[in-house]
Amino acid sequence: MNLAEKYTYCIEHFAKVMPNPKTELDYTTPFGLLVAVILSAQCTDKRVNMITPALLKAYPTPQTMAEASEDDIFNFIKSCSYPQAKAKHVHEMAQMLHTKFHDVIPDDVDVMQQLPGVGRKTANVMAAVIFHKPAMAVDTHVFRVSARIGLVRNAITPLETEKQLMKHIPSELVHDMHHWLILHGRYTCKAINPDCAHCPITAACATFNHENKQTNDLTIF
């Protein structure tokens, strides 16, 4: 299976079994999603979803969160990973969003990265989910799964992965593919003990077929 066929195979499968993929982060406003994505770094969506309702009820807008203290924010998010650093990022993000951008999240990925705590992955999530742009956010799942399947080759960084994926995915499907790869990595192609026995796309998976070929070659001898 060549690279183009591999993409077609995966896209057709995912489109059939997950026709409307969405983020598992709960949110009601763009600002709420931005806060949730910042908090989700090295933390589960389940944990973030437990934290954000109370936090955003207390501070629902950039202005109200900017007017809070880092300690106030910390008390709401202390059960997530790296709460002190994230409290600082969220607080400083809200301050800049209020003072520089007048409470409006910019829709440009590069401009959005001016906000504290907002890297390229977070900016791409916002661009895709809120602004419906063909932006590929590469998190740990996307990075791992796309390499294992062989959708990308010799990508060392998330940016290299992003660029390779964007070359082969139709623009109207980039947003969906982001979620497909995340969900596949979260529930099937896990970092430890991937569930290859129940994986429906092993026919396209470079890692699975390489390992099976090695096993078969050993069996011959």
Q: Mind telling me the catalytic residues?
A: 121, 139
Convert the pLDDT of each residue in 132-156 to its tens digit. 999 999 999 999 999 999 999 999 9
DSSP state letter for 203 = G
Q: What is the DSSP string of 59-87?
A: --SHHHHHHS-HHHHHHHHTTSSSHHHHH
Convert the pLDDT of each residue in 42-96 to its tens digit. 999 999 999 999 999 999 999 999 999 999 999 999 999 999 999 999 999 999 9
* pLDDT in the model for residue 210: 76
- Whole-Å CA distances, 40 to 33, 54, 203: 10, 16, 32
| Burial class of 34 by CB neighbour count within 10 A (0 to 12, 13 to 18, 19+) | buried
Radius of gyration of the chain (CA): 19
Read off the amino acid at residue 190.
K
Helical axes 140-149 vs 206-220, angle rounded to 10°: 40
